[in-house]
Amino acid sequence: DDNRVSVLGLGAMGSALASALVRAGYHTTVWNRSAARADALVAQGTAAARTAGDAVRASRVVVACLLDGASVHEVLDPLAGDLAGRTLVNVTTTTPAEARELADWAAAAGIEYLDGGIMAVPAMIGQPGSSILYSGSREAFDRYKAILDLWGASEYFGDDAGLASLYDLALLASMYVMFAGFMHGAAMVAPAGVSAREFAGRAAPWLTAMTGGFDGFGAIVDGGDYSVEGQQSLEFSDLSHIIATSAEQGISTEVIGMVQRLIQRQIDNGHGKEGFARIIESIKAPG
């Protein structure tokens, strides 16, 4: 019965996923280690299972939204027999290696496995802008697409169960470095009496406009020729005035200095006339 879904883990994210399911009319069974967390969802119309095993046996598709890979094993290892013949959609954040290991564990137990990386915060679930990346079983993705789409735009990346997680972590890596860049800018102007919110108002449209350059960088990186005309050269991308000003403002130069080092390594290797995109070579081959 594909109208039945079970959700294991009712933290902030698991609760948002279960809530979207019950609102869409699915017969939703929920389980959480600390039982009290199910109360709000029961009030919305879900059925609370007494044990994780009861929740697994209630539905053909079981969603796990626990803390980490270890907690997934802790909850599901004793239930492998009950999960056999069912589909496990694991949206718990794991490393790619953990996702592959879970996929192997599932395959050995006769469980269909789909791994998901959630690119949203709980309040965004079911709202525009929420996206979830999946990899693993194509059959599971296709069969349960209607369920997955309730939570956000769902996209399938391939049968390597670790790929969704790899993408997820790569996107988060880009985000954290961008956030650190914003913080650096805010720290630079702070001694001049500019508030961080005032700076945010300028930085947001600026950075948004700059993302327009990603595709061009991508084309150059994929083409493997960093000498293509029209690029800003590494030599021209000298950040010393930014570093000097940061020091004058009395702040750390760690964030901006990191970028300068990636540039410098390519210049030192004789590539100063080539384009800025070449810093990816510094990242690919750690110094």
Return residues touching ligand NDP (CB under 6 A). Answer: 9-14, 32-34, 37, 65-68, 71, 74-75, 92-93, 118, 121-122
d(CA 21, CA 42): 13
Q: Nearest distance from residue 53's CB to ligand NDP, in Å?
A: 13
Start-to-end CA span in the chain (Å): 55
Q: Nearest distance from residue 194's CB to ligand NDP, in Å?
A: 30
200: Cβ contacts below 8 Å, ≥ 6 apart: 182, 186
By beta-carbon proximity to ligand NDP, the closer residue of 122 and 181 is 122
Q: Nearest distance from residue 127's CB to ligand NDP, in Å?
A: 13
CB 224 within 8 A of CB 278: no
Q: Nearest distance from residue 94's CB to ligand NDP, in Å?
A: 7
Residue nearest ligand NDP, Cβ-based = 11
By beta-carbon proximity to ligand NDP, the closer residue of 83 and 251 is 83
130: Cβ contacts below 8 Å, ≥ 6 apart: 118, 119, 120, 124, 151, 152, 153
Q: Nearest distance from residue 226's CB to ligand NDP, in Å?
A: 35
By beta-carbon proximity to ligand NDP, the closer residue of 119 and 279 is 119
CB 32 within 8 A of CB 12: no
Cα 122 to chain centroid, rounded: 13
Task: Extract the tokens encoding 249.
Answer: 């403002």
By beta-carbon proximity to ligand NDP, the closer residue of 50 and 284 is 50
d(CA 212, CA 37): 43
Query: Across-strand partners of 63?
Result: 7, 89
- Residue 60 DSSP one-character state: S
Positive or negative torsion for Cα 58, 63, 66, 71: positive
By beta-carbon proximity to ligand NDP, the closer residue of 115 and 274 is 115
Please state, in angstroms and as integers, the Cα–Cα distance from residue 81 to each residue in 13, 31, 85, 106, 201, following that order: 27, 18, 9, 10, 54
Q: Nearest distance from residue 116's CB to ligand NDP, in Å?
A: 9
- Residue 233 DSSP one-character state: B
d(CA 20, CA 145): 14
Q: Nearest distance from residue 36's CB to ligand NDP, in Å?
A: 8
By beta-carbon proximity to ligand NDP, the closer residue of 66 and 262 is 66
CB 119 within 8 A of CB 152: yes
Q: Nearest distance from residue 165's CB to ligand NDP, in Å?
A: 11
By beta-carbon proximity to ligand NDP, the closer residue of 79 and 234 is 79
By beta-carbon proximity to ligand NDP, the closer residue of 147 and 277 is 147
